[in-house]
Amino acid sequence: MLAACAQKLLAGTYLDGPYITYLSYKGGTTEQLFGFLCEREQALAVGCGWHQFIGIFLVAWQAIVGLLLLSGARSPIILFVEIAFLIGAGVYADELNFQVLNIAFLCIAFGVGMARWLAIICAVMLLVDFFSLTRIVEHVLGL
Amino acid sequence: MFWGFKYTRVLLGGLLALHVLWIGTHLYLVKNHQLNAWKLGGYGMYTRPSPRFRLNAHVEGLEAREKWRSNPNFSAENWYFVLPCRSISASRIASFYQDNPEALGKTTRLLITIRSFERYPVKSEYVPTVELTIRWPDDKTFTWESKVCEQQSKGKGQWPH
């Protein structure tokens, strides 16, 4: 988590939000989730405050969770919130299979086995990923 | 037991140091040699669009053809342009003709564009990075003039390579 935070800081495309702006208007179907927050042409030209906020939130989130894990915090609440975040990121980037891997690693880091409910969620995620979330969304929305 | 514990700690510390060293090297290569930020550890993944490459070709006498094959030989031999500023070699050029034998012996112009990312205005474009002009003085020899990341060079190769 700390490495992911560091690379976003070093790349410099999150703190002022241009990468989120790019994905919001030129990314894949699921990545355009936050496109409604700003007016497209203006956001592409000069940036978007909401996208900047999301970028900063992501960097801060990864820093906080990284530090919590490093400090030995193993609360089930942290695990639950972090899993929810990973699922959200998986939906956003249409990379649910990658997030199943991350969730499994997280369970190892927390020293807990994968709970039955979580295993079921992971199985559903893999099934959705098999058909691709983007295709499913496009099919449902008739895009 | 104690020595085993110490050994493990030293090993983990060494691996961590090597990892940090590689991260620094990766950042240097991305900044100064246009290394694809998504590759070789991918320390720039998800911070910009993946810098994919596109092959544009113009072959004398075959102008009508728009699409030229870049797989499997050309892409592999050119390392998928992960290091786009790498100097051109005869084998890298020959791989285009292995994929597209109908272009053999014909003057060929290749243009490799790589996806870039800019902000304000936020945009992603395919930017010309490698330009090549290949000529065939005879059936077995080709010469080339290249412009790679603004550096010009010339060379000569044999066919079959």
- Enter the tokens of residue A52: 């900047």
Q: A22, B121: Cβ pair inside 8 Å?
A: no
pLDDT at B25 > cutoff 70 = yes
Q: A8, B120: Cβ pair inside 8 Å?
A: no
> How far off is chain B from A127, nearest CA to CA, in Å?
24
Q: What pairs with residue B134 in β-bridges? A: B108, B144
Q: Which residues of chain A have pLDDT under 70?
A: none
Question: Which positions ≥6 away from A118 have C-beta within 8 Å?
Answer: A83, A103, A107
pLDDT digits 0-9 by tens, B109-122: 999 999 999 988 99
Look at residue B156 and give its three-state secondary structure: strand
Q: What percent of chain B has pLDDT over 70?
A: 98
Please give the pLDDT value at position B3.
64
Residue type, B54: R
Residue keyed to tokens 């009508």: B64
Q: How confident is the model at residue B91 (pLDDT cuts 50, 70, 90)?
A: very high
pTM of the model: 0.83
Q: Where are the domains of chain A?
A: 1-73, 76-143
Residue B50, classified by CB atoms within 10 Å of its CB into exposed (0-12), middle (13-18) or buried (19+), is middle
Partner residue opposite A44 with nearest CB, options B37, B46, B121: B121
Q: Which residue of B has its CA nearest to A12?
A: B47
Complex confidence, ipTM: 0.78
Q: What is the DSSP string of chain A?
A: -HHHHHHHHHHTSSSS-HHHHHHHHHS-TGGGGGGGGS-HHHHHHH--HHHHHHHHHHHHHHHHHHHHHHTT---HHHHHHHHHHHHHHHHHHT-HHHHHHHHHHHHHHHT-PPPHHHHHHHHHHHHHHHH-HHHHHHHHHT-
Q: B122, A43: Cβ pair inside 8 Å?
A: yes
Q: How confident is the model at residue B160 (pLDDT cuts 50, 70, 90)?
A: confident
Q: How confident is the model at residue B2 (pLDDT cuts 50, 70, 90)?
A: low
Contact B112, B54 (CB under 8 A): yes
Mutation choice for A interface testing from B23, B40, B122 by most A CBs within 10 A = B122
Question: Which positions ≥6 away from B88 have C-beta within 8 Å?
Answer: B130, B132, B144, B146, B148, B153, B155
Contact A105, A118 (CB under 8 A): no
Element at B53 (helix H, strand E): strand B53-59
d(CA A68, CA A76): 13
Please give the pLDDT value at position B23.
86
Contact A43, A25 (CB under 8 A): yes
d(CA B134, CA B57): 11
Contact B91, B77 (CB under 8 A): yes
Of B43, B44, B121, the C-alpha closest to A18 is B121
Number of C-beta neighbours around residue A84 at 10 A: 10
Q: B117, A13: Cβ pair inside 8 Å?
A: yes
Mean pLDDT of B24-45: 87
Radius of gyration of chain A (CA): 16
Which residues of chain A make contact with B120, given a CB cutoff of 8 A? 18, 45-47
